[in-house]
Amino acid sequence: MSTLPPPGEGGAPQTGLPAPEPTIDTRNTRLDDGINRCPRCGATDIQLRPSVGMLVCLFCRHEWAEARLDETIANGDLSTLTGTTIASGAANIAAGVDSVITLKCGGCGAEVVVNTAEQMGARCHWCRHVLTINEQIPNGAVPDAVLPFQITHDAAMTTIREFAGKRRLFADRAFVRDFTPQNVVGVYMPYMVVDANASADVAGFGEVQTRRYTRGTGDNKKTVYDADVFEVQRHVDFTADDLTLEASSARAQMNSAINTNNVINTILPFDTENAVRWNASYLTGFTSEKRDQDVAHTTPELEHQLLSIARAQVESSISGYDRGVRWERERLQVHGTRWVAMYLPVWLYSYYHEKNGTSMVHYIAVNGRTGEVMGSVPVSTPRLVAAALTVGTVIEGIVIAILGAMG
Ligand SMILES: [Zn+2]
Ligand SMILES: [Zn+2]
C-alpha cells in the first residue's frame, strides 16, 4: 500500500495558514493627504479614461498612470517563496472599523465625510477640491492595487446588447421590453491575487487493460475487461502565479436560487499583472464592492485550486494507464504564499425578474479588460415551446446552451 497517510490523519490539505502581519508595504504615501492633484496643473478633478488606461485631468487634459504594482514590489523566483507574505492592502479587516471616513480637506481644512461602502471620494462643499480615500484604512475598502477598466461604457453596452439579442427569441417578453443598456454599471470587484510555491503527493490505483471479450449469449451478452491494477504515486513541486480568489462573501457563497451572480467567475481571467498601485481616482464614476474576506477565509479555496493544478500537472505522466487512475489520497504542502488585494473591473447589467411569485436577479457581466461576456437571461417556457415547433430538432442544443449560461 501507499506510504501516504490516509485522509484526515495528516494527509488532508493543510488549512488555516497563520495570518502574520503584512510584510509588503504598498501604501501610496504620495496621496496620503487625501488630495490627488494633477501633476501638471494641480487640479483635483481626475478620472480614468478607459480607452487609454490612463488617469486624465478634466481641467487641463493631462494624462498619466500609476506604476504597475509588479514593478514596485519584489517579485522574485516563486520557487524560493516561503512563509506567508501579505501586502498591506490585504491585511486582516479590523473589527469595528466603520465604512464612514472623515477626511480633512487639504485645500481649506473643512471636514468631509465619505461612505466607503458606496464611494471612494467626495467633493469638498466649501472649496470644490475632490478628496479621495488613498490611505489604507483597515476596513477592506482600499486594496493594494487596481486593474483599471479598459473596455469603455459604450463598448460594454454594445457587447451586452449583442449578448441579449442573440438570445432574445427565447427571452422573456418583459426582459426584452425592459432591456435598458443605460443601466450598465462599472463595478470594481474585490479579489485576493495569490502567488504560491507548493508540493503535492497523490496516490491511488491505475488500470491497464489486458483483454476485452464478450461473455454470455443473446440478451445476457456482456463485454468484460481484464486489467492489471497498479499502485500509482506521484510527487510534484510547482509554483502558481496570480491565482485569483473571490474576496467578497456575497460572491463566494452564491445562492443561485435567488440570483445568478456567479456569472462573474465565467468571465475570468483578468490580466492581473497589469494592475497598478492604488489611487482612488481610478474609481471615479464607478462603484466598488468592499472586500470582507481575509487571508484565512480564502485559504481553503487557494488549496483547492493548488490541488487542481497538481492533478493537472501529473496528468501527462499517467497516460499509460489506459483505463484511468483513481486518486485516493492527496496531500498538499504549501511552502510559501504571497497575497495581494486587488480590485478587478466588471461591467454589470442586472435585471430583476419575477415569475409565478418567485423573484430572481439575473446578470450579464462583461470583463472590463477583455470584453468577455457571460450572463443569464430568463427563459420563458411558452416561447421556447413555440420556437421548438418552428426550429425542430436544433432546439435541444439551444436550450442546453441557455441553461448552461444560467449556471
Ligand atoms: Zn491638470
Ligand atoms: Zn475644501
Question: What is the CA(5)–ligand 1 centre distance, in A?
Answer: 64
Q: Which three cell numbers stand for residue 216?
A: 454470455
Give the number of the ligand closest to the Cα of residue 109. 2
Q: C-alpha distances in angstroms, 377 versus 58, 107, 352?
A: 38, 48, 11
> 3-state DSSP call for residue 387?
helix
Backbone phi, then psi, for 198, in 5-degree steps?
-145, 165
DSSP H/E element including 352: strand 325-355
pLDDT at 254: 45
pLDDT at 19: 52
Question: What is the CA(37)–ligand 1 centre distance, in A?
Answer: 8
pLDDT at 33: 66
Question: What is the CA(122)–ligand 2 centre distance, in A?
Answer: 10
Give the number of the ligand closest to the Cα of residue 103. 2
Question: What is the CA(123)–ligand 1 centre distance, in A?
Answer: 17
pLDDT at 169: 62
Give the number of the ligand closest to the Cα of residue 106. 2
Give the number of the ligand closest to the Cα of residue 130. 2
| 336 CB-near residues (< 8 Å, 6+ apart) | 78, 80, 81, 82, 83, 84, 85, 196, 197
Cβ 367 vs Cβ 375: under 8 Å = no
**pLDDT tens digit at each of 407 positions of the chain:** 333 443 333 333 444 445 567 788 888 877 766 678 899 999 999 999 999 999 999 999 999 999 999 887 766 789 999 999 999 999 999 888 888 888 888 888 888 888 888 788 888 888 888 888 888 888 888 999 999 999 999 999 889 888 887 776 666 677 767 777 678 889 999 999 999 999 999 999 999 999 988 888 888 888 888 899 999 999 999 999 999 998 988 765 544 444 444 667 788 899 999 999 999 999 988 988 889 999 999 999 999 999 999 999 998 889 899 999 999 999 999 999 999 999 999 999 887 777 677 777 778 899 999 999 988 766 665 655 555 554 433 333 333 333 333 33
Backbone phi, then psi, for 319, in 5-degree steps?
-65, -20
Give the number of the ligand closest to the Cα of residue 36. 1
Backbone phi, then psi, for 338, in 5-degree steps?
-135, 125
Give the number of the ligand closest to the Cα of residue 40. 1
Question: What is the CA(56)–ligand 1 centre distance, in A?
Answer: 8
CA trace torsion 164, 166, 169, 171 (10° rounding): -30
Cβ 146 vs Cβ 275: under 8 Å = yes
pLDDT at 121: 86
Backbone phi, then psi, for 216, in 5-degree steps?
80, 180
CA dist 188 and 342 (Å) reads: 9
Q: What share of the chain is helix, strand, coil (3-state, %, to 5)?
A: 25, 35, 40
Question: What is the CA(41)–ligand 1 centre distance, in A?
Answer: 4
Q: C-alpha distances in angstroms, 119 versus 33, 132, 257?
A: 18, 9, 29
DSSP-assigned letter for residue 5? P
CA dist 270 and 156 (Å) reads: 16
CA dist 407 and 405 (Å) reads: 5
CA dist 14 and 6 (Å) reads: 14
Question: What is the CA(156)–ligand 1 centre distance, in A?
Answer: 28
pLDDT at 104: 85
CA trace torsion 27, 144, 249, 330 (10° rounding): -120
pLDDT at 394: 34
| 293 CB-near residues (< 8 Å, 6+ apart) | 190, 192, 246, 247, 248, 249, 252
* 196 strand-pairing partners: 240, 337
The pTM assigned to this predicted structure is 0.80
pLDDT at 11: 37
CA dist 89 and 339 (Å) reads: 9
Give the number of the ligand closest to the Cα of residue 46. 1
CA dist 340 and 192 (Å) reads: 6
Question: What is the CA(132)–ligand 1 centre distance, in A?
Answer: 16
CA dist 87 and 322 (Å) reads: 46
pLDDT at 118: 79
Question: What is the CA(44)–ligand 1 centre distance, in A?
Answer: 8
Question: What is the CA(128)–ligand 2 centre distance, in A?
Answer: 6
Question: What is the CA(112)–ligand 2 centre distance, in A?
Answer: 8
Give the number of the ligand closest to the Cα of residue 125. 2
Give the number of the ligand closest to the Cα of residue 112. 2
